[in-house]
Structure 1
Amino acid sequence: MDKQLSSPSYRPLYDQIKVLITQGLIGGEWKPGDVIPSEIELAARYKVSQGTVRKAIDSLSAENILIRRQGKGTFVATHSEEVTKLRFLRLTAIDGKKELLQNELISCVKSKADAYIAKILEIKAGAATVEVKRLLTFSGRPLIYDHLIVPAVSFKGLNSNKVEECNGSMYSMYESQFGVRMIRAEERLKAVAANQEVAKSLGLKEGYPLLSIERVSFTYGDKPMEWRLGLCLTDDHHYMSELE
């Protein structure tokens, strides 16, 4: 468990309750898709006002960790829902048309973390990892060369069959088969030139300009669980992000 989460006393009261609810999620008390206790029940459990609990739940809802449903209660968010399935995919057609998204597995192999990946995933250099490369197609056209690495200890049994069977959101598969839910991500964007391997996969000339999206995804407790590099063809697509 994250050390900061185990000692929330220095935080504002609603934030302490937010941390305690998050600890329940980390410990598996409430799993993705589960309904959590009512505000009244949580207020009694934590010996605080219902308003304090509501503020904590509002904050968790704003972070897409919990979802309120009118007349039904508050649920743990899940990547299996359509509204969140493609939450981190921001490549959009310039004309705004909906597209059929599919993926083709290039490789899924066991590897060892180099110093860079080890630092990002907070594991030891040389630790076992699983490395996946895929080609993401939009209405049959390859647009993203997708390269990801996860720590093997958290994804025991992840192999090419599982990747092909999921045929869609890796995050939904992580959640349903390995109990790992990604709740937030950090991204870094820059322009790059396609190398020989990537150019061949995307049907381009070597050196063709691409948008590089390097992402680190985190689960509960702000623990990094996946490094991912998406190399995107943006001739008639763009990266769209809503800012608040």
Structure 2
Amino acid sequence: MSAMPPPLPSTADGPGLSQAPAFSPLYQQIKGLILHSLQHGEWKPGEAIPSEIELAGRFRVSQGTVRKAIDELAGENLLLRRQGKGTFVATHAERQVQYRFLKLVPDSGDVRGEARAQRTILECRRLRASADVARALALRTGDPVLQARRVLSFSGVPTILEDIWLPGHTFKGLSAEQMAGYQGPTYAMFEMDFGVRMVRADEKLRAVLPDEQQAHWLAITTSTPVLSVERLAYTYNDVPMELRRGLYRTDTHHYHNQLS
């Protein structure tokens, strides 16, 4: 377990209040301390965190302040409240979380009712980061990265062709067999086997035509439009951990995003 962060300094407002500027409310400071513990692995994905009363005593603030911090972290899908059981570190193994980054859904039915994708690993190798990959992953050009290419098929139909780049040192030992053999979500495997939790992602979308090799793997012609999706996924504190470039067939699926 990592070292406990120091309690907030005392002030006239109370024993746990800090001399923070107006733009940094106390609950945001508590949120930052909880994030610190999450980032350093004090509480693992799927594990319960201490109760609000325990955290209030630890940080010497009110229970209401802790609750507000936890509410924000739950709203950001970093923590998960379970009625009558407590608050847990969110994990991509949870059904309500594992579909958070999956935006390609079948035209008929719900993604949760669709059979799990069949994965075909076409390539998995270690190489030196090119300039654009290094820039995306906050590495230096030439740093080691792992590159994987795979096809995801639904009901036997190849639907997604993906190229994935991961920091080599963080994902040391990841193999094609491991990626192909894991039965759960890939991000859940990253959590369990490498201690990396993806907490948010940025995506860029555009319509493109596949080249001959891409069309071959997707079992389409080069004149068939596909959706190009580039995703940069981050772990805690906005540290980039995965660059993913995918081509999506949209003849039986569509990209769905709910805005609120």
TM bracket (short chain): over 0.9
Cα shift readout 1:6-26 (whole Å, capped 9, x = no counterpart): 9x9552111111110000011
8 Å contact kept, 1:133–1:145:
yes
Give structure 1 stretches of 5+ with no counterpart: 1-5
Structure that is richer in helix per residue: 1
8 Å contact kept, 1:102–1:167:
no
Alpha-carbon distance in 2 for matches of 1:66, 1:241: 22
8 Å contact kept, 1:103–1:168:
no
Are 1:78 and 2:94 an aligned pair?
A: no
Are 1:32 and 2:48 an aligned pair?
A: no
Q: 1:206 aligns with which of 190, 202, 222?
A: 222
Alignment of 1:101-140 (within 5 A): 101-140=117-156
**Aligned residue for 2:12?**
none
**Aligned residue for 1:16?**
29
Are 1:175 and 2:188 an aligned pair?
A: no
8 Å contact kept, 1:112–1:129:
yes
8 Å contact kept, 1:102–1:168:
no
Matched length:
239
Cα shift readout 1:116-140 (whole Å, capped 9, x = no counterpart): 1111100101100000011011121
8 Å contact kept, 1:103–1:167:
no
Q: What TM-score, normalized by structure 1, do the two folds share?
A: 0.94
**Aligned residue for 2:56?**
43
Equivalent position amino acid for 2:114 in 1: E
SS of the equivalent of 1:226 reads strand
Alpha-carbon distance in 2 for matches of 1:20, 1:69: 22
Alpha-carbon distance in 2 for matches of 1:68, 1:82: 14
Return the offset for 1:111. Answer: 1.4
Alpha-carbon distance in 2 for matches of 1:168, 1:103: 11
Return the offset for 1:164. Answer: 1.3
**Aligned residue for 1:3?**
none
Are 1:99 and 2:84 an aligned pair?
A: no
Alpha-carbon distance in 1 for matches of 2:256, 2:183: 24
Q: 1:59 aligns with which of 62, 72, 76?
A: 72
SS of the equivalent of 2:114 reads coil
Alpha-carbon distance in 1 for matches of 2:184, 2:60: 43
1 or 2 for the larger relative contact order (CA 8 Å, sep ≥6)? 1
Cα shift readout 1:140-177 (whole Å, capped 9, x = no counterpart): 11110011000011011011111111145210111110
Alpha-carbon distance in 2 for matches of 1:233, 1:203: 10
SS of the equivalent of 1:154 reads coil
Alpha-carbon distance in 2 for matches of 1:202, 1:95: 21
Alpha-carbon distance in 2 for matches of 1:128, 1:220: 21
Q: What TM-score, normalized by structure 2, do the two folds share?
A: 0.88
Return the offset for 1:206. Answer: 1.9
Q: 1:87 aligns with which of 90, 94, 100?
A: 100
Alpha-carbon distance in 2 for matches of 1:174, 1:111: 20
Alpha-carbon distance in 1 for matches of 2:34, 2:43: 9
Greater C-alpha radius of gyration = 2
SS of the equivalent of 2:148 reads strand
Return the offset for 1:243. Answer: 1.1
